[in-house]
A and B are shown apart, each in its own frame.
Chain A
Amino acid sequence: DQQVKQNSPSLSVQEGRISILNCDYTNSMFDYFLWYKKYPAEGPTFLISISSIKDKNEDGRFTVFLNKSAKHLSLHIVPSQPGDSAVYFCAASAYSGGSNYKLTFGKGTLLTVNP
């Protein structure tokens, strides 16, 4: 049962254009959502997050949108740069008791930004 789904395994965009990465989830208990970026041979790097009480969070070129009714979030990168080429993981967090927040990851989307 995959609770966090990234249905596009790959995405290719031109430098300077917008990249839109999508993520769907099924568990209504998720209350915090994160995007991680991963380069080959490195660990995932935290990029941006959004709480379920918001519908948008922006950080420089990166904006995350959350549509709770559709259980859908997206990451927009504007403008896209070749250095953004990486695998992007969507993750969702649910409180699991005590001080614990369990993260559930999607399978990732490989973004390629062409010069």
Chain B
Amino acid sequence: DSGVTQTPKHLITATGQRVTLRCSPRSGDLSVYWYQQSLDQGLQFLIQYYNGEERAKGNILERFSAQQFPDLHSELNLSSLELGDSALYFCASSPLRGGETQYFGPGTRLLVL
């Protein structure tokens, strides 16, 4: 158990809809990262938040957004969903220092029908 929690575990929705994925980092970790893993793809970095502020952006679509709240949990919002958005979405967290080692949650499996 990494200490990172993600909800829901599974999500099935339809094209055009909007969903919210939730992540709680390890106790004491200030950075939260979101990744997408599609079929036959590695982990694609989407976005990083540190202590409530956006710190780095990767290959995140404009239809996707995220935020980190004062209690440090984070939400990833996916809107106008398309079939190609079906993937595993992972959240990871790291402490401020030694931030290069990230600890991953169990992931949310999103299926868009």
Q: Is the interface of A mostly helix, strand, loop or mixed?
A: strand
Give the tally of cross-chain contacts (CB within 8 A).
69
Q: Residue on A with the closest CB to B30?
A: A99
Query: What total of chain B residues lie within 8 Å of the partner, measured CB to CB?
Result: 31
Report the bound CA distance from A105 to B90 in whole Å.
Answer: 13
Residues of chain A contacted by B43 (CB below 8 angstroms): 44, 89, 91, 105
Q: Residue on A with the closest CB to B58?
A: A102
The verdict on B7 contacting chain A, using a C-beta distance below 8 Å, is no
Min distance, Cβ B40 to any Cβ of chain A, angstroms: 7
Residues of chain B contacted by A99 (CB below 8 angstroms): 31, 50, 96-97, 99
Report the bound CA distance from A99 to B53 in whole Å.
Answer: 13
Q: Which of A34, A91, A100, A104 contacts B50 (CB 8 A)?
A: A100
Q: How large is the interface on A (under 10, 10 to 19, 20 to 34, 35 or more residues)?
A: 20 to 34
Stretch at the interface among B14-22, B65-73, B74-82, B101-109: B101-109
Of A101, A106, A107, A108, most B-chain CB atoms within 10 Å: A101
Q: Which of A43, A91, A100, A104 contacts B4 (CB 8 A)?
A: A43
The verdict on B83 contacting chain A, using a C-beta distance below 8 Å, is no
Residues of chain A contacted by B64 (CB below 8 angstroms): none
Q: Residue on A with the closest CB to B104?
A: A43
Fill in one digit per residue for B83-105: 1 if any A CB lies within 8 Å of its CB, else 0.
00000001010101101111111
Taking a contact as CB atoms under 8 Å apart, the answer to whether B99 and A101 are in contact is yes
Residues of chain B contacted by A78 (CB below 8 angstroms): none
- Listed from nearest, the 3 A-B pairs whose CB atoms lie closest are A43-B104, A101-B100, A107-B42
Contacts beyond the supplied A32-B100, A46-B103: 6 A-B pairs with Cβ under 8 Å: A43-B6, A49-B100, A99-B97, A100-B55, A101-B99, A107-B40
**Interchain residue pairs with CB less than 8 A apart (10):** A41-B107, A46-B101, A46-B104, A93-B100, A99-B50, A101-B94, A102-B56, A105-B42, A106-B42, A107-B42
**Hey, which bits of chain A sit against chain B, CB under 8 A?**
4, 32, 34, 36, 41-46, 49, 89, 91, 93, 96, 98-108
